[in-house]
């Protein structure tokens, strides 16, 4: 069941990129309708992920993946500028998300030991 929750995390990060892309290209009313639909699907996946996983971890991954994905989308799709400082902060963001995940794993292990011991 935990694997399914991680699938939801991946889907919410992916759909976040879809609606951010939609914000950049939507030009008529029905484009905005699609964007709103994608946002609704995205938040459904986000809520499903939070049912079995720590909300802080899910949100950190959602926000981190969205931030990095948006920055890369800006560079590669919308001709934004790449800079060393952008890459440094993206690495810091990834390190923070990984650190939060490791901290959550450590907390879960301690809770399980307390219940079993």
Q: What is the pLDDT of residues 53-95, one digit of tens each?
A: 888 888 888 888 888 999 999 999 999 899 999 999 999 988 9
User: What's the rounded mean pLDDT across residues 27-45?
Assistant: 96
Q: What is the mean pLDDT of the chain?
A: 88
Q: Encoding tokens for residue 14? A: 């992916």
Closest listed residue to residue 9, CA positions, set 49, 54, 63, 57: 49
Residue 115 clears pLDDT 60, i.e. is over it: no
Q: Which residues have CB under 8 Å from 73's CB, separation 6+?
A: 17, 20, 21
- What span, in angstroms and rounded, lies between the C-alpha atoms of 43 and 74? 23
Residue 42 clears pLDDT 90, i.e. is over it: yes
- Give the residue extent of every domain in the chain: 2-107
């Amino acid at each position: 069941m935990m694997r399914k929750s991680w699938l939801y995390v991946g889907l919410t990060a992916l759909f976040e990129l879809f609606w951010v892309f939609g914000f950049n290209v939507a030009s008529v009313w029905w484009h905005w309708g699609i964007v709103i639909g994608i946002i609704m699907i995205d938040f459904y996946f986000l809520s499903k992920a939070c049912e079995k996983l720590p909300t802080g971890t899910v949100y950190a991954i959602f926000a981190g993946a969205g931030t990095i994905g948006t920055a890369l989308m800006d560079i590669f799709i919308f001709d934004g500028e790449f800079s060393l400082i952008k890459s440094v902060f993206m690495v810091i963001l990834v390190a923070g998300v990984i650190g939060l995940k490791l901290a959550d794993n450590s907390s879960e292990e301690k809770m399980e030991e307390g219940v079993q011991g």
